[in-house]
Structure 1
Amino acid sequence: MRFRPDDIGTEAHFFIHLKGMVRMGTIVFVGAGSMAEAIIAGIVDGGVMHPRDVFVMNKSDDDRLSYLQQKYGVSIVCPERKALRDAELIVLGTKPKDIHQAMADIAGFLNENAAVLSVIAGVSIATIECGLGSRPIARSMPNTSATIGKSATGVSMNHAVDEQMKRRILTLLSGIGIVKEVQEDELHAVTALSGSGPAYIYYMVEALEEAAITEGLSKEIARELIIQTFEGASAMLRQTGEEPSVLRTNVTSPNGTTEAGIKALEKNSFKKIIAECIQSAETRSRELGSTSSSATMKE
């Protein structure tokens, strides 16, 4: 469900309604990649933030910054870094390998009250505390469906995040989809499941489409049928509240076509393949976190 400004009451000087938008102070995105754009698109197009309150910076790609500025109306952080000094929230969205340099570049400019929200896979809260000092820090894992307000996001926060800041962070993340607060260690599983999840779905759609074409359907018809099937099944899960196994059984007649298809999946260890997929991604998330922590200890 898309966040609506009226879902949250006014709170001191922070939540200010502007033509249906919620002004959430100044936010600076450090990193201008696909995830940063996904969140920017979600909060600007979804009416959570006014673009004039959103700033973006990256390591070297001026063309990328110009693109984001032109498409979403956001501002580019100037060389004097004034936006960093004024920011109430910093969103870290660099590649994992660039996080230490990025933190070193901004640490001296942040005001002591600025909070940090990370969307970088595998980078721990402790790593961010080492780089940017003790302050309110949240670590999250959205996915690229944030661009259409359909992200499934997990978030964990340190003890410095008070109720007011927690509300602000959840407001921001709710503007791009659903958000679930979890323990930090559980974010590895969130990363593997919903962070990488859209790619798994797209891969499955590729396979279904190729199979349908082999059986004689056109690509266009196959694509529409697949999309509607996914949407319908998702809606059934949400609206009925039934277990997926129950819904599956309901459409699986003895000796029917669905049973034949399910048996083929079982014969090829479908559930085992899915489990290995999630386990591999979860392990990689932990490896990235371990590498990040090791680099921090060496500094």
Structure 2
Amino acid sequence: MLKYRNISFIGAGSMAEAMISGLINNAGILPERITAANHSNVERRSELINKYDIQAVSFNDFSLNNTDVIILAVKPKQAEEVLQQLKPNLQDHHIILSVLAGISTPFIEEIIGKSLPVIRVMPNTSSMIGESITGISAGKYVKNEDLDLAQELSKAIGKVKIISEKQMDVFTGIAGSGPAYFYYLLEHMEDVAVENGLDREMARDIAAQTLYGASKMVMQSDDSPAELRKKVTSPNGTTAAGLDALDENGGGKAIEAAVENAAERSKTLRKEFEKVPVL
């Protein structure tokens, strides 16, 4: 079971913190079972220790001896260097989860040179509150029990979808980067509300609740988003006027371009940092 495993994060950035928060607050993982390691940011390590009561150490002082699950959460450009440093100390019982955008499981498998289970995991920062949607794809040496553990870990921070490695780029474009799109939308709704006389706190609450309610409608209804949109759009009404403005200003195309750009960037990262083809 996950709660009896020792989990080590290699990297201590925002994604690592979101997952740490979710594991402690939503999965009941004891803080002493979690370690975070980074290279040089002592202040960041102190912050995580004080906030979550976990262990946080310099990567140079980090040991794999008491680790069961290794979660790679560094920047993609650091992937090869970190893996080369971990490689001599990897043991047969280790399971490697990677949240590195654009870095495939075959690339990790080739560098470590061992038949260890490698699972690519793509959560988003909503894992901080247990509301992530996480995509996972299994590497060559992953057994059913390894995939079960990855799912258990991912369910602790939200919902889970098992996808193929090839689907991970578009998943990244939608789910990995998606929260920022919605924050951007809310930012502009909030600004225009303030310009028209609402105070900022009220404007934020109204916009966020509207988005939350619409999301719940999609998740609880048998209707598609397009059908739901049509149902709330009266001819010549206020909603129709707003949607016309979105169309005239390229709203739909902008959303599609955002997802496609993020997905393409994920592919580009893989080409920049690895040479192993995705099967």
Instruction: Verify: 1:156 aligned to 2:133, yes or no.
Output: no
Q: Amino acid of the residue matched to residue 143 of structure 1? A: N
Question: Quick one: which of 234, 238, 245 aligns to 1:257?
Answer: 238
Give TM-score scaled by structure 2 length: 0.93
> 1:195: how far off?
0.3
2:99 aligns with 119
**1:14-25 equivalences in 2 (<5 Å):** 15=1, 23-25=3-5
Contact 2:127/2:157 (8 A) holds in 1: yes
Contact 1:26/1:54 (8 A) holds in 2: yes
**Per-residue CA shift, 1:216-242, capped at 9, x if unaligned?**
222222111101101111111112221
Q: Amino acid of the residue matched to residue 215 of structure 2? A: S
The CA distance in 2 between the partners of 1:29 and 1:240, in whole Å, is: 38
Instruction: Verify: 1:88 aligned to 2:95, yes or no.
Output: no
Question: Quick one: which of 11, 22, 27 aligns to 1:47?
Answer: 27
**Per-residue CA shift, 1:115-137, capped at 9, x if unaligned?**
10000101111111122223100
Instruction: Verify: 1:28 aligned to 2:27, yes or no.
Output: no
Contact 1:92/1:116 (8 A) holds in 2: yes
Instruction: Verify: 1:183 aligned to 2:164, yes or no.
Output: yes
Instruction: Verify: 1:172 aligned to 2:153, yes or no.
Output: yes
Q: List runs of 5+ in structure 2 lacking aligned partners.
A: none
Q: RMSD of the TM alignment (CA)? A: 1.7
Q: Amino acid of the residue matched to residue 252 of structure 1? A: T
> 1:31: how far off?
0.6
**1:121-136 equivalences in 2 (<5 Å):** 121-133=101-113, 134-136=115-117
Instruction: Verify: 1:62 aligned to 2:72, yes or no.
Output: no
Question: Quick one: which of 186, 191, 195 aligns to 1:205?
Answer: 186
1:289 aligns with 270
The CA distance in 2 between the partners of 1:162 and 1:49, in whole Å, is: 23
Q: Amino acid of the residue matched to residue 157 of structure 2? A: I
Give TM-score scaled by structure 1 length: 0.87
4+ long deviations beyond 6 Å: none
Contact 1:48/1:172 (8 A) holds in 2: no
> 1:113: how far off?
2.4
Tell me, what secondary structure is at the counterpart of 2:136? strand
Contact 2:19/2:128 (8 A) holds in 1: yes
Tell me, what secondary structure is at the counterpart of 2:244? helix
Q: List runs of 5+ in structure 1 lacking aligned partners.
A: 1-14, 16-21
**Per-residue CA shift, 1:11-47, capped at 9, x if unaligned?**
xxxx2xxxxxx52311111111110111000001113
Tell me, what secondary structure is at the counterpart of 2:153? helix
> 1:213: how far off?
2.0
The CA distance in 1 between the partners of 2:194 and 2:134, in whole Å, is: 34
Instruction: Count how many residue pairs are aligned between Structure 1 and Structure 2.
Output: 275
Contact 1:209/1:222 (8 A) holds in 2: yes
Tell me, what secondary structure is at the counterpart of 1:139? strand
